[in-house]
Structure 1
Amino acid sequence: MATVLGRPVPSDVPLREIDGVPCTTRAGIARLAGWPEGWSAHVRAGTDPAFPRALPRRAGGAYWYRLPDVETYLAVLAERARRKKPPAAEAGDPDELLDSAGAATALHLTTGTLRSYIRHSRPYWTGEKTGRPLLPPPDEQEETVSARGRIQVRRYWFRRTLAAHQGTRPGRGTGAGRPRTRRDHSGAE
């Protein structure tokens, strides 16, 4: 049975032995990489310099790629994903309660970036939006009234809360940004 990165190749991945070497197609590479069905592998084959080279001859109307080369490519993809991950939260007493400045330092952020993260995370904390917030909800918060009569909210997080959240963040380039929409070009209204 063929393996990739120490795991058996799933049964839905096309496999063929060519010149004594197990091979797969672009669809197989997409399945092994966890990409959605469609053109992902075709686009990457033309744009990613690390994408494996196809065997010189096609078989069954498809390009075939040596599994050892595919395994090397999957390792490159894993390293790219690892480099995108945000750094771990600074070590310290997990029970330490951090204010906003301390939380920013622990997360390797500026206080301005932390304020922006809070602003974008509040709708998730209150349930107005679903999904993953940029920051976890504070463990404690206190409201005070300023000398000008404005309500101020001070938020506090335990270091362990920030560390757990930071450890599960996906990193840059993994789906944030403008949502994808399908455009209807049929002219129908």
Structure 2
Amino acid sequence: MAKGNHKRGRGKPQTHSLLEHYQPIDGVVDEMVDTSGNPRPAWKHFVEALEELGAEKLGQRFARADQYLRDAGVYYRVYDKAGANEREWPLAHVPVLIEESEWAAISAGLVQRAELFEETIADIYGPNRLVEKGILPAGLIAASPEYLRPVVGTKPAGGHFLHFCAFELGRGPDGQWWVLGERT
């Protein structure tokens, strides 16, 4: 959980021992606790379950998860001017819990985004209308080291080009969820 020199939000004292040193940052929406420092409804039972484990067991489990990722060689690749660099997978030990009604709207948008990616890659390896209409520059696609020219004109056995899609989300200052990045 968060550590640091943050200013505490106003309100009644917290009753959860795991949260006794957790201090939300003033003026920043905290997904886990409200402005009084109490767990939001989606988090209440989760925080209670974590408290039952205790700080020592939680620390051991977090360390074991980190070690497992290192032992399994889990990483991700970052592309920059220097080329491709492999970095450790940044594991968030505590997930972000989102209310069901809010998640329904988010997931609908993510499905739409994934479908757009699927249609775009299907077009690139198929009829190529996006390049023909000048929407995508042909040179950009041809210069990509990930572009597989021999795949042009083929249809995937399962019907989909996109086999993996993950989104990195964050809440913007306007309170709306933003897609900060994606991995495909």
TM range (shorter): under 0.3
TM-score by length of 2: 0.24
Between the two structures, name the one with larger relative contact order (CA 8 Å, sep ≥ 6). 1
